[in-house]
Structure 1
């Protein structure tokens, strides 16, 4: 490293110590220097398939950054973004999971460069997994039709919240 590069590195390090690291909500974020597994979705509603996906990383000791897309409620998205965040935080707080939940703007596309320095994984649930048969669409249809089958696909701790949000 030449002198110019060293001076730039020293300057950037000094500046980074003066920067407050905040999340999208504007609150100071703890443990920002950890590496997180990122999960982006609508989570309408938060169900066992989502939980199984996130637990894959949590069980490896990797914290999760769950990013909830900020979308307007409609038929496909019956819950507000805030209600969705409430469900996710409630579930993971009760289980003591190392999770940060963040609201992000809606997404037009996901873009990344070659050799980004981290893994890009697509999760495929095992064939013998119950997650393979869980569908948020089926859950929403079940709720809309007054059919309680949705309760087998969503953690019991969230049932009352979901029913309350939709009443």
Structure 2
């Protein structure tokens, strides 16, 4: 059995993520998806909690026709010591034979640890990009909804995600110093 690893922040999950997972599952028997930066939330770069991202990603994959019995979703917090990052990662996930990432820095860390790194297909990265999706949400541009599965848009609406993002962007999310 070949198990792959796919790392992302999924802030929010979009169609590009879903299509990449479907492609990767053509090459591996099982896929571990690591949701990185698990400790961050309610900030402009990471507005959604790890629980919300797990929920969104699972529903997005289901909507995209992915066999969820072949997917393991693991949240993982960041650490500041990049040289120790792979050992930290390995403690969170089952053994895997290949890793997929579009992030050159992550690819470098994995290769230095002796991991086979494969490039997954990137789908119109200019369009399917979580940063861009958050920017569209902030502008009130409804195009963002076409870039994510319907289930993700519904979850974002149900948690008042757009309002949250706008409050965060206005600087109201900073803790007060008494």
TM-score of the superposed pair, with normalisation by structure 1 = 0.67
Alignment deviations for residues 14-53 of structure 1 (CA, whole Å, 9 cap, x no partner):
xxxxxxxxxxxxxxxxxxxx53211111110000111122
Q: Distance in 1 between matches of 2:111 and 2:153?
A: 41
Task: Name the counterpart of 1:160.
Answer: 154
Cα RMSD, aligned residues only: 2.3
Structure 2 residue 54 is matched with structure 1 residue 82: no
Helix, strand or coil for the counterpart of 2:117?
Answer: coil
- Aligned partners of 2:46 and 2:144: how far apart in 1? 16
Q: Does structure 1 retain, via aligned residues, the 8 Å contact 2:4–2:31? A: yes
Instruction: Give unmatched runs, 5+ long, in structure 1.
Output: 1-33
Q: Alpha carbons of 1:158 and 1:112: their partners in 2 closer, same or farther (altered >3 Å)?
A: closer
- 2-side partners of 1:92 and 1:113: how far apart? 28
Give me the whole-angstrom Cα distance separating, in 2, the residues matched to 1:56 and 1:162.
Answer: 26
Which of 1 and 2 has greater Rg? 1
2:21 maps to which residue? 54
State the TM-score, normalized to the length of structure 2: 0.63
Q: How many residues align?
A: 130
Q: Is residue 106 of structure 2 the alignment partner of residue 119 of structure 1?
A: no
Which segments of 5 or more consecutive residues in structure 2 lack a partner in the other structure? Answer: 86-108, 164-178
The answer to whether the Cα contact below 8 Å between 1:49 and 1:132 also exists between their aligned partners in 2 is no
Match of 1:71 among 17, 30, 39: 39
CA deviation string 1:56-81 (max 9, x = no partner): 11123532111112132101111001
Instruction: Supply the distance in 2 between the matched residues of 1:137 and 1:61 (Cα, whole angstroms).
Output: 28
